[in-house]
Amino acid sequence: MKKSIFSVSQVNAYIKKIFINDYVINDIWIKGEVSNCKKHRSGHVYFTLKDNNSAISCILFKNYTNFVECDLKDGINITARGYISVYERAGTFQLYVQQIKSDGIGELYKQFEFLKEKLDNKGYFNSDNKKKIPRYPRKVGIVTSDTGAAIRDIINVSKRRNPYIGLVLYPSLVQGEGASSNIVKGIKYLNAIEDIDVIIIGRGGGSIEDLWAFNEEIVAEAIYEAKTPIISAVGHETDYTISDFTSDLRAPTPSAGAELAIPDYNEIEQILDKYRYKLTNCINIKVEYYKKGTELNKIKLDFNSPSMRVLKERQYISEVEEKLNRIISSLINEYKNNISLLEHKLKVLSPITNLEKGYSYIETIDGQVKGIGDVNIGQTLFIQLKDGKIEADVNNIEKGKWGSYE
Query: What pLDDT, on the 0 to 100 scale, is given for residue 403?
Result: 54
For CA atoms 278, 280, 281, 287, the dihedral sign is: positive
245 and 183 in a common domain: yes
> Do residues 173 and 182 make contact, with C-beta atoms less than 8 angstroms apart?
yes
206 and 92 in a common domain: no
What percent of the chain lies above the pLDDT cut of 90? 47
Overall domain count for the chain: 4
Q: Which residues of 181-206 are buried (b: 16+ CB within 10 A; e: fewer)?
A: bbbbebbebbbeeeebbbbbbbbbbb
236 and 120 in a common domain: yes
122 and 253 in a common domain: yes
116 and 77 in a common domain: no
Reference 260, options 284, 236, 230; nearest CA is 230
How many angstroms separate the CA atoms of 348 and 72, rounded? 147
Instruction: Tell me whether residue 316 is in a domain.
Output: no
Interacting residues of 96 by C-beta distance below 8 A, sequence separation 6+: 58, 59, 61, 82, 83, 84, 85
Query: What pLDDT, on the 0 to 100 scale, is given for residue 105?
Result: 64
The tens digit of pLDDT for each residue in 179-205 reads 999 999 999 999 999 999 999 999 998
How many angstroms separate the CA atoms of 158 and 151, rounded? 10
Q: Is the pLDDT of residue 271 over 80?
A: yes
73 and 94 in a common domain: yes
Count of helices and strands (H, E) across the chain = 11, 14
The tens digit of pLDDT for each residue in 221-251 reads 999 999 999 999 998 877 789 999 999 999 9
How many angstroms separate the CA atoms of 137 and 259, rounded? 12
Query: What pLDDT, on the 0 to 100 scale, is given for residue 362?
Result: 83
254 and 160 in a common domain: yes
Query: What pLDDT, on the 0 to 100 scale, is given for residue 343?
Result: 81
Mean of the per-residue pLDDT values for the chain? 88
How many angstroms separate the CA atoms of 250 and 58, rounded? 30
Instruction: Tell me whether residue 237 is in a domain.
Output: yes
Tell me the mean pLDDT in the region 52-62. Answer: 92
Instruction: Tell me whether residue 315 is in a domain.
Output: no
Tell me the mean pLDDT in the region 260-267. Answer: 93
The tens digit of pLDDT for each residue in 307-332 reads 777 777 888 888 888 898 889 999 89
| Domain containing residue 77: CATH number | 2.40.50.140
368 lies in which domain range? 354-393
Query: What pLDDT, on the 0 to 100 scale, is given for residue 104?
Result: 67
**Complete edge-to-edge strand list for the sheet that includes strand 389-393:** 367-368, 361-364, 380-384, 389-393
The tens digit of pLDDT for each residue in 61-116 reads 999 988 888 888 888 889 999 999 998 888 899 999 999 987 766 777 888 889 99
Instruction: Tell me whether residue 77 is in a domain.
Output: yes
Q: pTM higher than 0.85, yes or no?
A: no
96 and 152 in a common domain: no
